[in-house]
Every structure is written in C-alpha cells, then in structure tokens.
Amino acid sequence: MHFSDLLDAVRSQPQELSIPAEWGQGRASFGGLIAALQYEAMRAKVPADRPVRSLAITFVGPVEPDVPVSFEVDVLREGKAVSQVLGRAIQKGQVVTLVQGSFGASRPSEVAVTANAAPEMKHWDDCQEMPYIKGVTPEFMRHLAMRWSVGGLPFTGNTSRDMGGWVRLRGEGKDEVVSEAHILALVDAWPPSLLSHLKKPAAGSTLTWTIEFVQPLLAFSTLDWCKYLVEIEYAADGYGHAAAKLWSEDGQLIAMSRQTVTIFA
C-alpha cells in the first residue's frame, strides 16, 4: 500500500487499521507513518480553519505490523483560536504512541521574523542515494527516496554533528499536494544521526519527537524533493538529542523538528 492509500484508510475507517509489513522498521512499523495516521485522526476532530502548529509525539512501544491498531482522539480544550488535542494509538489494549497536538487559527500580529537561510547542498542528482535493500535497510525505505549530501550514512564511523540531504516519497504513482501527514513521513524517514558515528550495526530508535509546522503550509507536490538537515546537540549514556529542519527545493522553511533518540551501543 502506498502512503496515500493508508491515509485514505484511516480517514474512512479511523477506528482500526493494520499496518502492512512493507512499512516495517525492524520489529516495529515506521514511526513517521504511525504519527501521520494518528495526526489524520486528530485533524478530523478540529475545525478546518485551525491548522496544526505543533505535535509532541512519544513512541511508548513498537507498533507491530499486520496487527490491528486503533487511533483514539480526545479534544482537551477548544479556545477562541487554539484547540488542544490528545491522540492515542492503541494495539492489543496497550497505548503504543501518544500525540499531543496544538491547532491554531491565524491572528493579527505586529511580530514577523523571517526564517534563516537554508543551507547550500549539492543537487540531488549529484548525491549518494540510500537504496532500498531487502533484508538490509528498513522495509519502509521502499516507499521513500533519500539522497545524502551532508555527513555519513549509518554505521560508517563518520563523527560529524550534521547529517542531511534530499528526501521525497518514492513510487506513489501520482502527483499529490503535500500535507502535514506527508511531512511527518519525510522528516522521520532519516535515521538517527548518531548511527553514523558507529562502525557496526546497532539498534537505535526515537523516544520523543516534537515537530512544528510553518503555516500556512507551503504548496508543493509529493514528487518534489525536500532538503533536510539535522544537528546533534548532545549525546551520552545511550541517548542523543538532535534538532532538524525541512525546507522546500528553493529553500523555504517547512518544518522544525527535535528528537530524543536511544542508541543501544
């Protein structure tokens, strides 16, 4: 199933859904997809004129592929401009993902600060691709294309603080307008940047993830490349802290992300 197929499924039947194994990430399902599906369930409970401003995501446990998972939503508060919403992905009676979302309508303001310029990167045609290799790379990589420009691939012993390049959906088969759900997948597609510091394979996963969206959302296509860059700010004791941004091909800021990751090495 393509990414768009799964989004359509949770929109039409939000109560329960099974994630195909082709969207796997080790023993779990791809976190970016789970966050996107939970977001879609939350989006349906909020007025359309209140775009999502931020999501705070906690991956409580792995979402098993091919096992039904439900996406529950509670609207905690609706103010004059802001809705606070809590989402829970539940599998086998256990909470596996928590998402707290803040949705807010635009309002007049005298404050306007432009984003810093996007970093320069080589053209995607001149960058190394992260290929999908069955049994080697995560299964979900068959659905996302990534081209490395900054830092090293996982397990190459590259100790740069920075990692990034270009990313887009792969093989969707049609041109669609990118939504916040797509952005969740594009940002989370990148492996924990700490993995490039290692010289041999080891497990790593996201513990918590906060992402903020620039609104109004830039209009672009699922066939367009986006630019991604993450910086490791600190790592010790098996945990790392990293901040990232996603830009359009022409350097317009789309989203800002922050993750705490666990490394089992």
Instruction: Indicate the domain borders of the chain.
Output: 3-105+118-263
pLDDT tens across 155-172, in order? 999 999 999 999 999 865
pLDDT tens across 93-102, in order? 999 999 999 9
Assign domain 3-105+118-263 to its CATH superfamily.
Answer: Acyl-CoA thioesterase, double hotdog domain (2.40.160.210)
**Strands across the sheet containing 17-18:** 17-18, 68-78, 82-91, 94-104, 52-59, 204-213, 253-263, 239-248, 226-236, 162-169, 144-150, 128-129
Q: DSSP class of residue 194?
A: G
- 73-87, 124-138, 210-224 — which is least confidently predicted? 124-138
